[in-house]
Amino acid sequence: MSGAGLPEIGIPDGAGLTVAVVTSRWNEDITGRLQEEALAAAAETGATARPYVVVGALEIPVVVQALATEVDAIGALGCVIRGGTPHFDYVCDAVTAGLTRIALDTGTPIGNGVLTCDTHDQALARSGAEDATENKGRDAMIAAVHTADLPRRI
């Protein structure tokens, strides 16, 4: 599991920021944990968080786009686990491209916490659950809040 190279940026100042957390329900045992961790991270920064739930990963960019002009930053959370067909590749590419396009078009920071894993165990290890090696829900929210806060300090 790769967490190597993760920068230590500390807790950004989210006071006065409103953030959204958009989470897919697919693989809910994983995504529910990602959402809990992202909401806790938002609270830790002092940001006000609003959670939203969508069905699957492909629906995440649609809701993120609707929210991008309403909030200061967004955490996008999901879990796509490879199956026996190329569907995994199409979903992962579409979600990543969609989130990137929305962030660039609107200037709204989007923390991408959509896990793209080969197995359920890999996803669990990245979910922030007990004994997990990574916490991608938290990481995505901290990155989004940091990016929203940075222009205020420039």
User: Catalytic: 146?
Assistant: no
Reduced to 3 states (helix: H, G, I; strand: E, B; else coil), residue 119 is coil
* Residue 83 marked ligand-binding: no
Q: Is 44 annotated as a binding residue?
A: no
DSSP class per residue in 31-89 = HHHHHHHHHHHHHHHT-EEEEEEESSGGGHHHHHHHHTTTSSEEEEEEEEE--SSTHHH
59 is in an annotated binding site: yes
Q: State the catalytic residue, choosing from 87, 101, 120, 152.
A: 87
- 79 in a labelled binding site: yes
Question: By the 8 A CB rule, do 141 and 75 touch?
Answer: yes
Is 26 a known ligand-binding residue?
yes
Question: Is 53 assigned to a binding site?
Answer: no
Q: Any known ligand binding at 23?
A: no
Q: 9: exposed, middle or buried (C-beta count within 10 Å: 0-12, 13-18, 19+)?
A: exposed
Q: Which residues are annotated as a binding site for 5-amino-6-(D-ribitylamino)uracil?
A: 26, 57-59, 79-81, 112
Please state the residue numbers annotated as binding site.
26, 57-59, 79-81, 84-85, 112, 126
- Binding site listing for (2S)-2-hydroxy-3-oxobutyl phosphate: 84-85, 126
Catalytic residues: 87
